[in-house]
Structure 1
């Protein structure tokens, strides 16, 4: 297969769907003006792979996709988020006729003829004038390396494969990582495990009280500055701190949130520190985050010396044909929505507005 379109969108999570929606609204037609390629087997982005115990009620800050609300009738807080959000995304794709092509694995993006980009995939090659990259981070779980890691006789797993708390019943579990997922796992596992030990690189910062728009903008600005300088992006939560919930307060009172600094090495039956401390364990759960899934962009040589891709707005500084949404400061549901809109505005400036469209997103959404 070899197709030619104006815009290829890689990824059909929140950022990719937002970009596709705004392309439709700008007059680009699915299949001819743009195409959305998604490696997942079904709608839902990374949400379809989340652990069953992450119910929709536990999801922090899920924003509606542009043009269609997730109603309270569909968003039962007791249902797994891996069911609620993929069902919402599926309705969204149908309502706006986005015609996502899946499952398609993108292997590389290269320079082609006539200034076009060649998007090489498991289903053939697409030629595009512009690329919206919305591949997120889920496919690149980060596993730190420590001496002795291969000697551990117990089980090691990452957040990306977290099965829920039941798998840890009666076990001695070390949870590594101070982010939101790490704390969620820790609180769940502590209810059923024989014992838990929480280990983080830095002392966790807990946030109490309201977190308004000014604080949010300041946090995003810090992440944005790193991306502008071409450094690998940090998560927004790394600069906002962890919101102290009632469940976390109860866990702190029980000592569950008593934290140890990072260990020096891993032993066959646990972990050890330089001062001689040793904690025995059956399981090490690495809640150590993810990295941007952008290896397929390597042929374009977009990375800076700092290791990241420098971005102005959504546009890669080294190649204005490439837009990154859901990257760095836009790696949140509200940020992804805004980045999708901003990317399409910049694409219109680069390519010129397409032919007039009679398509009305407001009308399409009615009744869905």
Structure 2
């Protein structure tokens, strides 16, 4: 290898090493900044159309166990430690009229709101910053002119979507600064959420399956359902290829005979219906069975034989049933 090429490769490696060192140093700096940050958990009150924010794991767990009307939406941002340099308190108020909480990092605004009837002061909620800085992000405040409630988000796209979609919201700018919500561990679904998922994605929750949803989490439970083998209808149970009576499969036989049992299973919908509901109640691929049931409500399949379909006005009566 000539000396010029060796020098070129040495320069490339030196540049790469420098870039790696810069990246590692920046990562260490950010990790140091976030070392004592606490996630601010966000809940949506579906009854009042308001949001609640807390860094308290006790409050978070209480709402998770309480179920409706609060729905957990994850961490909105991370709040710094109150002991961190330049951090300031964020004060919390309760407003019964709107069923919402109001948050402010301004001591002056706190004192002003304390003089307004209808607001109950609840003290310091968490810490934040009043200005930007390394690793900090703005948390925006929006005002609902209809209810008097406030909405907070660290997402500029979400802020823009709310303002664009709901004329009742006024953008009040940046409420305070915080850290991004990174490294927040996923929470197990509450018992209420597990039962609600199973009520929608299966043929009903059972204690065992609800416990499994809470163990796996909703996403992994759904992924597990996708991977389940199909609960099919084995060909060995549907080996009669005609819908017409035959000497070995007929209703014109004793009701205890094999010929009559064959007619019940093969010439009617009895067996396929029994297999469907058996799969629906006991098969492990519950999500697939529930979707199949939903599709069966849209795609109507008839078990009538061809001669029956030719009966006068049969299609008109079928249309009357549909509409």
TM-score, normalised to structure 1, is: 0.19
Computing the radius of gyration from Cα coordinates, the structure with the larger value is: 2
Structure with more of its chain in helix, by fraction: 2
Where relative contact order (Cα < 8 A, 6+ residues apart) is larger, the structure is 1
